[in-house]
Chain A
Amino acid sequence: MMKENIDDLKNILDKEFEDFKSAVKKVETLSGLENIENRFLGKKSLVSEYLKNMGTLSNEFKPIAGKTINDMRRKISERLSALKEEISLLEFDKKLRNEKYDISLPGRKIKTGSKNILNQIIEEIEEFFIGLGYEIAEGPEIETDYYNFEALNHPPDHPARSLHDTFFIDENILLRTHTSPVQIRYMEKHKPPVYVIAPGKTYRKDYDVTHTPMFTQIEGLAVDKDINFGNFKWTLETFVHAIFGRDRKIRFRPHYFPFTEPSAEVDVSCNMCKGSGCRICSYSGWLEILGAGMVDPNLYKFVDYNPEEVNGFAFGIGIERIAMLKYGINDLRMFFENDLRFLNQF
């Protein structure tokens, strides 16, 4: 029976709480916690017993005792629910940790394909020239003699024609030997300023270690007022630095092409030997990468431009050659063999 003394009640309850505290100290599982809850808040617990017997207390003491017991009950209950959350988190964590998972097993990869190396280089070059304000033009691969030769200053019987071993469809129709005809077609349709590059397949009757009967070119053309040789040098120098890196040296060597005057072959310093000479550059320290020049004014006659009003320059780049130099590919024929091990490398 409860004595109607608040200090006694408090003492008893404080002792009960001390017992509770020492009981939960050791508890680690939810079921253990349930036992404790039973012991301290269950039907047979001290707190429950006291509350059950509240009716026997005096009216003065009842509210004070009730409040004190209920405070204690709430205290225990709050503590228990906090512990419950804590322990269930711990148990959840333990359960997760017990799941066996070898994350070093190989993942399910998605096979990706590859863009052909030649198209990668073409796109790289296209992006460079688009940045300078150029457009991309395309044209037929089966061409007429007029566009492939005549309008490019190769009249019939011109000795320079022998430099091109041409595939013919008939006397006047042929497989283009360069992409320059695209430029003539473009100029026929557009007045200056003209800034255009023409990528595409070209054909020459040649098949050995250094020639395939089909190969890929980008030819470029700029025609505008006030274009001079210095601008031509700037454009190609900037191009070479963009493709091969700023540390490469570049030189313009006078040459001959029927549709440019003056004409130049452009060499880039050999990366293998840094210019001192090796097998790759045939001991010259230089690698030839493109042919170019100022547009021969004769060409303007074919497209109705006035050579006194505009100047221009043109250039032709062999894509396979750029790829070979950039990646050290040593056999030209690999580009068209399409071995999966080759394709997957790029």
Chain B
Amino acid sequence: MTNKVMSIMVVGVGGQGVILASELLCEAAMRMGYDVKKSEIHGMAQRGGSVVSSVRYGEKVYSPLITKREADILLSFEQLETLRWLDYIKPEGKIVINDQRIVPMAVAVGQGEYPDVFGILNRVTDKVYKLNGPDIAQQVGDIRAVNVALVGALSIHLDIPMELWRKVIESRVPPETLDINLKAFEMGRTLMKVP
């Protein structure tokens, strides 16, 4: 019996909605009947630090952590943050990336440079799937919908039916934002399909 475990890392910057995105993913995996584990570090209330959340699901999951060379998919909310986790992706792993830059304080004050992210990624793998999250969020009319749009983009790489995603989103977002979030999800999903 093979116990295939899916390992997905969701990374970004505090305040971007990384945690909600990984919650949606977990909820969907659980409704598929999988064993699911999700781990992240939270505690500091401050905005603006690096955030990482690990989601693993399959028939039986032991460790909640994803270690180097174990991630099937890296879902990244911010260009630079993608680079911090390159070692964690499997050789055949995929990168779903939000085409957004948030300049870290060090760079903002002139210490260090914001790297050429796509230049580096192109050397590393051809499995990079780019989505302009802020653009979608603007189109649906709420900047906070970036995270759900990204989950939409992620969803085409997973074996979870659209109907189930809809139910999960319904159960997790405030009712008054449901339409916007569903639209953002579908746009993320559609744009990913047609490159």
A binds B: no
Chain B residues with CB under 8 Å of chain A are: none
